Amino acid sequence: MSKSFLKLVVKKKVALVTISRPEKKNALSPELFSEIESVFTSLDRNPDVNVVVLTGGEEMFSAGFDLDFIRGLEKVSNEEFTALFHRAYRSIMFCGQPVIAAVGGPAIAGGFDLTMMCDIRYASENAKFGQREIALSLTPIMDPLWKIIGMGRAKEVALTGRIYDADEAKQMGYVSEVFPAGKLLESVMPIAETMAGYDRQCLRETKEISNILPAYDLDSAMKIQEWLFRTYIGAKDNHRRIDSLLESLKKKR
């Protein structure tokens, strides 16, 4: 039986997916990419999961591609691997549930790309980010990077291959918040659990619309958002949640 490089725990409608290949600094091999594709495809269909957290633990996220494997590839034999890791990336990006990256240490090259596929990124003080493909004569992924931090900054990240610390990543808008070292997951999981308590379909459609809106002109985007809002306002769950909020506000008076 092949070794599993992912650990999966589901609790309170949150799936915690942990990359576990410590002897290789969580380097991304074909086997690991296959697991990512399989796990995220399965999670997408799991009605008991509203939010996913992807992490490599408190000290590491992923050092990137397994270079020992990459070195053995030739142009005539790279198509299968290239298709595989792009399927893995897409399984994260197009997973119906919101996916949070909890980055406890270096997220470099392919590891950086994994965080890019997530919807929200939180980091510990020890996190580092770098799109190092250019240093290996490889073309980096620019989209969705430029949509996250803007084209000018995305070009800098891609063309310089520079390593950024957590605070720099936050300043450029790539990371939403930086937490103390060793306290990343205890800080991120309550956020995920709060999100997971919201309406599952509303979460999924909010993620989907955020992915498609950049392709539309402003007028079309506003019309799509108006239509989607109308499908939720006045519904039973909308009424129930309003009643709950009003009741809690009364108790605070």
| Catalytically annotated residues | 133
Q: What angle do CA 11, 205, 53 make, to 5 degrees?
A: 30
- Look at residue 225 and give its three-state secondary structure: helix
Q: What angle do CA 3, 86, 27 make, to 5 degrees?
A: 40
> How far is 158 from 13, CA to CA, in rounded Å?
36
Residue recorded with tokens 């650990």:
7
**Can you say whether the dihedral through the CA atoms of 105, 108, 111, 112 is positive or negative?**
positive
- Alpha helices, H only, 61-212: 67-71, 79-93, 110-117, 145-149, 151-160, 166-171, 184-196, 200-212
